[in-house]
Amino acid sequence: MSVAKVSELSCTSSKSFDDAINKGLSRASKTLRNIRSAWIKEQHVRVSKGKVVEYQVNMLVTFVLDD
């Protein structure tokens, strides 16, 4: 039987939501082993002078604990 844990992450990018997701997962994988999934909980943009300047995602990352 496996036991999993969920951590919530917030990640930003000046390029896109996809880039923010990939940056967050890349960083998480440096300290979390056995990442199995990510659920994108929220997406936000920051706007300046009528243009999007930053993309932010809040996601839940699920990873399986070592035996």
Domains contained in the chain, CATH given: 4-64 (3.30.1660.10)
What does pTM read for this prediction? Answer: 0.89
Query: Would you state the pLDDT for residue 67?
Result: 82
What is the model's pLDDT at position 35?
Answer: 97
DSSP codes of every residue in 1-67: ---EEEEEEEEEESS-HHHHHHHHHHHHTTT--SEEEEEEEEEEEEEETTEEEEEEEEEEEEEEPP-
pLDDT of residue 1: 76
pLDDT tens for each residue of 2-59: 899 999 999 999 999 999 999 999 999 999 999 999 999 999 999 999 999 999 999 9
Contacts of 20 (CB under 8 A, 6+ apart): 11, 12, 13, 55, 56, 57
- Please tell me the predicted confidence (pLDDT) of residue 21: 98
